Structure 1
């Protein structure tokens, strides 16, 4: 850090103390893209490649690193400092004088455009912030299993998250990235001992200081992580207690600068390359220490800010991105901030223990009129682990409603369960199905408001809806086939199918994807499942390339 500061002093002295500006520089191309795409393991882990394949998401040029010679040329330019980069946006975050930055467009033919954080300077060059398909969050305002949730009971049961847990969906096959401001004492506190003992913390990175020490900086991330992965027996349980985690620091709590947007995108890119399934971010941006960099509500369209553009790409890579709405409901700004405005981001507002909206919860819609926030979770008096002594405390903020929600979304998205087994055969990006099921389960879905969005979701209902949305592409062939009765007590039969069922095979899966019943070549239309436990199951009937899936409730 001292060397960095001395370098800045040198730049200031050689430019007669001219004003240093922040800008994003965008490149025209990636000359080695074809070679990288042909060898994806040079860019992505196998886990990331598998996630793409399961959802029919192609590996493309956005996955390719920025051409190194381009970076070197910019770094070697007089008066220019490179502070960050994004392969997704093929861009560098740079600092320098307005003159030095503008000269890059003249000096290098591979530079596509330049966009200054001080938007008044963009009229002096042709660089534009290409749009694609915060007011900051009050810097941290504050296998079948049965759990004693303790202090966390209300925030989990309000969402029917306990139903997912009793069905065995506890996030065990999910990887969650928490992008935040720091994680001090996660490596020592008793509330995270279960994570440590079970090797559920896979790693992380401190982008703020450019080092591998992520158990440092601001405690906000520790508090956030506790609502997802914390565990104190009979006292406290996070919403995804069996998930695995990467911990990334992108926020520099002592300042508010546009560099934090770039660092967030870098963290999201690393999360993607490591195969992360869900990202939680309890951060947001629209005003900065330099008021010339501030965004307006008009910029909250999901397409303008650097961070929102990055968040949108993360979602298109197959990651479920969950972000807090913000705590500005009673301020003059009052609106959501970036990246909560991104169209594909699941934006979460806050309610109290009784389901009443928290007054501080930020309002939507996005500037272009989309419902934001989409859903709500407890954010008033949320149960959280204190970062200093590990005690259970109550904090306020959408900073906590977001991770409470993100953990349950990870449970719903369990990629090794029966949802994947049925949906991946269609080569379908089924995150859209999950979000649709989640929103439709919410209590205000048919009457959304600017602060409530669709309201409080019901994860039991969402699971049923999600299963129903991932049926086979051959559904029309079976459109008249029914299971009667359903729910089932002991036996059921198939009705409404004109063809003989004798050539069809049957498999029944539990919610963890395990086959619990199977029969080849049906000989009669009635099946006995009296030996199965009560619960939710998926039945698949198939013949050659034809198949259909049904959800069954065993009573």
Structure 2
């Protein structure tokens, strides 16, 4: 018996002998080359999205220096699990000694263990029980109509005006998409070539029509189409399908895979990312987060979401299904500063007990908005129309309508779109930690934004266009803090200049001939468009 006990103790001690960690690098030696040749790292569509929102390229866009990756990969006992150019980091696995040995490499800036007790700067992490995997959605019965979940948000008004997501691209990060390539509810997508691609990051495989059914349910809330039974909120948007979640286990590498997928989505020019996933407790309890970590800047996935937003992407995330548990709060990445966290209400707009609540550790309102996540209509992997519950479904319902709204308001930035959606919600002036800002009204969002988007004639006028030597910009009287920003077709910043007076001039003789995107901000007025330089 004593020998058996010793064996069990040794076994338990070795269960987590292999540790997960992130290794961060000091620099990117090839940054200048990539910034001068942006099509080597981003698609033209991605550059266009940046230019339209006045977002300059920076070192975060540059790939990790490959020789650094090669040397870490060749290091004894180290397995590279994922990489992030935004963080300039690799997710690695190995023993504590092998991981710490990487600090001897001159280009390694820091090592950060997933187990905080192994990081000298932190105290022992709070112990938590290993979680049972729950993907926040469960089928109930094979009947229903999707009308209520769309009409609750007044999404049908956008559809009636032919705003159905056309021209917008949504990336779906999830656990799998079986049946999407074979069943009737997704036939419209297939016939119109709206599945633009995807990747299985978990298996490192191009096969993404596999895995857990969760992603199929989520996608159907946006893109499913069976007339008279199910109409997704953005049936005509384009979609990339990325498997980042391993439904069989819970490990921080899934956060790193999500960030890697978000970087790919950015490079492909995606407009919106929907994530119906959240991370808090892990199979190794030493990796788990505490409520104090929900501060918008701790979890690796949360930090990745923050960077994705700075690239001009709208991020929509399920709030979580832990509202009726001992730990009822939202889970990363829903705590990110500019992610739209979505809670769940029933068909009569009453909050569901399972919908996770706020605030964040730093006191911010969460969730941001709510939508129907109880008895929502979705399609399963066999093509049957069923109902399911969870914030995993309320989030894509909102994400799809954001695509429709952005289609209607193409001149808006991602930040402006998020603010318009929040302001349309029924509790905007009196938010709380269950409903957030409440149920958004997309018809009201479109109407109010359209009014503010159309200033009085002559308030901001740019001429001549085409221009040769001097560009004139007419501004309203008493305008302060006006600025013009000019980008070339590669998304590179060509000119940024403050504007003074009611008629400002900008010298353009030194600018090469071609087509440019301009962005003028003047006293709360935003004007964007194309400029031809002759």
TM-score (norm 2): 0.80
Structure with larger RCO (C-alpha < 8 A, sep 6+): 2
Unpaired stretches in structure 1, ≥5 consecutive residues: 1-15, 127-133, 143-148, 424-428, 479-496, 499-544, 551-555
CA contact 2:233–2:401 (8 Å) conserved in 1: yes
Match of 2:113 in 1: 116
Match of 1:33 in 2: 31
Match of 1:381 in 2: 375
Give the distance between the partners of 2:132 and 2:307, measured in 1 at CA: 22
CA contact 2:136–2:321 (8 Å) conserved in 1: no
Deviations 1:200-255 (A, max 9, x none): 00000000000100000101000100000000122210000100100000000000
Structure 2 residue aligned with 1:348, among 342, 346, 362? Answer: 342
State the shift of 1:467 in Å.
Answer: 2.5
Structure 2 residue aligned with 1:140, among 127, 136, 140? Answer: 136
Match of 1:325 in 2: 319
SS at match of 2:176: coil
Deviations 1:490-520 (A, max 9, x none): xxxxxxx99xxxxxxxxxxxxxxxxxxxxxx
CA contact 2:282–2:288 (8 Å) conserved in 1: yes
State the shift of 1:287 in Å.
Answer: 0.3
TM-score (norm 1): 0.77
Residues 314 and 474 (structure 1), Cα distance of their counterparts in 2 relative to 1, 3 Å cut: farther
Match status 1:217 vs 2:200: no
State the shift of 1:135 in Å.
Answer: 8.2
SS at match of 1:163: helix
Give RMSD over aligned pairs.
Answer: 2.7
Match of 2:260 in 1: 266
CA contact 1:150–1:234 (8 Å) conserved in 2: no
Residues 187-266 of structure 1: pairs in structure 2 closer than 5 A:
187-266=181-260
State the shift of 1:139 in Å.
Answer: 2.7
Residues 137 and 17 (structure 1), Cα distance of their counterparts in 2 relative to 1, 3 Å cut: closer
Structure 2 residue aligned with 1:47, among 23, 30, 45? Answer: 45
CA contact 1:383–1:395 (8 Å) conserved in 2: yes
State the shift of 1:412 in Å.
Answer: 0.5
Segment of structure 1 superposing worse, 467-476 or 207-216: 467-476
CA contact 2:296–2:360 (8 Å) conserved in 1: yes
Structure 2 residue aligned with 1:158, among 136, 140, 152? Answer: 152
Give the distance between the partners of 1:123 and 1:473, measured in 2 at CA: 59
Match status 1:467 vs 2:465: no
State the shift of 1:465 in Å.
Answer: 2.4
Residues 17 and 329 (structure 1), Cα distance of their counterparts in 2 relative to 1, 3 Å cut: closer
Deviations 1:298-345 (A, max 9, x none): 101110010000011111101100000000000111000000000110
State the shift of 1:140 in Å.
Answer: 3.3
Give the distance between the partners of 1:89 and 1:201, measured in 2 at CA: 29
CA contact 1:135–1:336 (8 Å) conserved in 2: no
Structure 1 residue aligned with 2:309, among 308, 315, 318? Answer: 315
Give the distance between the partners of 1:473 and 1:99, measured in 2 at CA: 67
Match of 2:364 in 1: 370
Residues 473 and 120 (structure 1), Cα distance of their counterparts in 2 relative to 1, 3 Å cut: farther
Match status 1:66 vs 2:64: yes
State the shift of 1:468 in Å.
Answer: 3.8
Give the distance between the partners of 2:16 and 2:246, measured in 1 at CA: 25
Give the distance between the partners of 1:549 and 1:35, measured in 2 at CA: 33
Residues 286 and 135 (structure 1), Cα distance of their counterparts in 2 relative to 1, 3 Å cut: farther
Match of 1:443 in 2: 426
Match of 1:430 in 2: 413
CA contact 2:345–2:351 (8 Å) conserved in 1: yes
SS at match of 1:112: strand
State the shift of 1:186 in Å.
Answer: 0.4
Unpaired stretches in structure 2, ≥5 consecutive residues: 1-13, 124-129, 462-475, 478-521, 528-534
Give the distance between the partners of 1:261 and 1:186, measured in 2 at CA: 24
Deviations 1:31-67 (A, max 9, x none): 0001001101000111101000100111111010000
Give the distance between the partners of 1:476 and 1:395, measured in 2 at CA: 50
Match of 1:405 in 2: 398
Structure 2 residue aligned with 1:456, among 396, 417, 439? Answer: 439
The total of aligned residue pairs comes to 446
Give the distance between the partners of 2:294 and 2:122, measured in 1 at CA: 24
CA contact 2:173–2:258 (8 Å) conserved in 1: yes
Give the distance between the partners of 1:346 and 1:110, measured in 2 at CA: 36
Deviations 1:264-296 (A, max 9, x none): 001101010000001000000010000000000
Give the distance between the partners of 1:473 and 1:54, measured in 2 at CA: 22
Residues 283-302 of structure 1: pairs in structure 2 closer than 5 A:
283-302=277-296
Match of 2:493 in 1: none
